[in-house]
Structure 1
Amino acid sequence: MRRAALAAIGLAMGLASLPHAEAGSPRRDVVARTVPGAHPVLRTQRGKASFYANRFHGRRMANGRRFDRQSASAASRTLPLGTRALVTNLENGRRAVVTIEDRGPHLGGRVLDVSPGTASQLGMRQRGVVMVEIVPLAAGEHG
């Protein structure tokens, strides 16, 4: 009996120390599948993506460059700056290659922000927020 109780406590403590997803957490939809031969941070992810408002055109991004609404720029909280990634709109199958040049998205529950030009290529301008898959292709200079 005592051994079973200790095992249950150990299991509970171990589970409590693991990262967990709360309702609305952006990590809830992340798929823990590592790209072969890639840095451990470079995982295929699934989650909600949105796009930058036009008012951000010309503002500086995290990499120091100015944002161009027609570029293939994207923002991620987890992927290293400079990382190229294939983004697939899971609702219509359209794809685009982006470069992570900024940090964000800053709204909970989202894993990626893309430029309005990329949003058009992905066919997501009407909906605004869509489910995507992000497959890192090459690590950035900081990765």
Structure 2
Amino acid sequence: MEIRKRSIITVVTIAALSTFGTHSANAATSCGGASWYALHSKTASGERMNPSNMTAAHKTLRFGTKVKVTNRNNGKSVVVRINDRGPFIRGRVLDLSKAAAQNIGMVRSGHAKVCYEIIG
């Protein structure tokens, strides 16, 4: 009976992790809002923000993580490197550099619904 109980707990734990997602290299696609910014200040990683680079801010992903971001409205994608922390607005999952935002067609609106996946 004890072994069966542990097996059930393990299955439930694995199901919960796959449902709610993780931020490991094997994480499933995550979706939410994205905005963009074009400052020249220092980022949380210590490098200077360059709006022409393909970079982004995320709350928890490791600096240097490459992420493929897809605009859900038009299907355009871009690969960015995480180098900053944010966004700090409810419902948003990424802050993109201006260049990255231009690549997926969201500069004019200022924000978009996106999905992203860790690559590499």
Work out the CA distance in 2 between the residues paired with 1:133 and 1:48: 8
Q: 1:33 to 1:109 in 2, by over 3 A?
A: closer
**1:81 positional shift:** 1.2
Aligned to 2:81: 99
Q: Which has the higher contact order (CA 8 A, sep 6+)?
A: 2
* Larger Rg computed on CA atoms: 1
**1:85 aligned to 2:67?**
yes
Q: Give 1:44's match in structure 2, choosing from 22, 29, 32.
A: 29
**1:117 positional shift:** 0.6
Q: Deviations over 1:62-84 (max 9, x none)?
A: 11110000001100012111100
**1:90 positional shift:** 0.5
Work out the CA distance in 2 between the residues paired with 1:43 and 1:71: 25
What TM-score comes out, normalization by structure 2 length? 0.77
Percent of counterpart pairs with the same letter? 38
SS of residue paired to 2:52: coil
Work out the CA distance in 2 between the residues paired with 1:118 and 1:39: 22
SS of residue paired to 2:29: strand
Work out the CA distance in 2 between the residues paired with 1:75 and 1:101: 6
SS of residue paired to 2:87: coil
**Unaligned stretches of 5+ in structure 1?**
1-17, 19-30, 139-143
Dislocated runs of 4+, deviation >4 Å:
none
**Contact 1:77–1:105 under 8 Å retained in 2:** yes
Q: Report how many residues are paired.
A: 103
Q: Give 2:90's match in structure 1, choosing from 89, 101, 108.
A: 108
**Unaligned stretches of 5+ in structure 2?**
1-15
**Contact 2:25–2:119 under 8 Å retained in 1:** no
**1:112 positional shift:** 0.2
